[in-house]
Amino acid sequence: MAAIELFEERGFEATTVADIAARAGVTERTFFRQFADKREVLFGDPGEYNATFTDAIAAASADAAPIDAVTAALAATGAYFEGRHAYARRRTAVIAANPALTERDQSKHAKLTDAVAGALRERGVEAPRAALLAELCTVAFHQAFLRWAALDHETDLGALAVEVLGELRAAVA
């Protein structure tokens, strides 16, 4: 929270690692044990985040259609993001105000797309179809996340993501 507070007060570019460490009551050395740089405070390690999607895809029943596995992955995000709404709102605003952070956010989404495609391929989905479904999953999640972060109250992000996926499916029907 120290970093977000400083980014909101001073702006991302004007905030240094030393500022963040001082506000958090730790040394810079301690900061760098946890984060490679100040951007990582906002993005962190995507492993657990991506696993929310890939684990749900892997756990879908063997006879589930690939789109149903994607739907399960989107629904699973609700539990991962529960209680994180207030932080997500603030984080989204900081990222939106900084083009370099927007680029980093897009990179994070690309890694998620790759992870989802890999999980679908492991289920036997052909690579081109897996790539398309992974893109669809990522777009649905991203759009749902932006809607969710814009709300003034917390709601189930997973349910919202499934709803957005339904909107995308209806748009192409």
pLDDT in tens, 56-69: 999 999 999 999 99
Note whether 148 and 157 are within 8 A (CB): yes
Question: pLDDT tens across 72-117, in order?
Answer: 999 999 999 999 999 999 999 999 999 889 988 999 999 999 999 9
Q: pLDDT-based confidence at 45, cuts 50/70/90?
A: confident
List, in order of start, the domains of the chain with CATH numbers: 1-40 (1.10.10.60), 45-171 (1.10.357.10)
141-146-150 Cα angle (round to 5)? 145
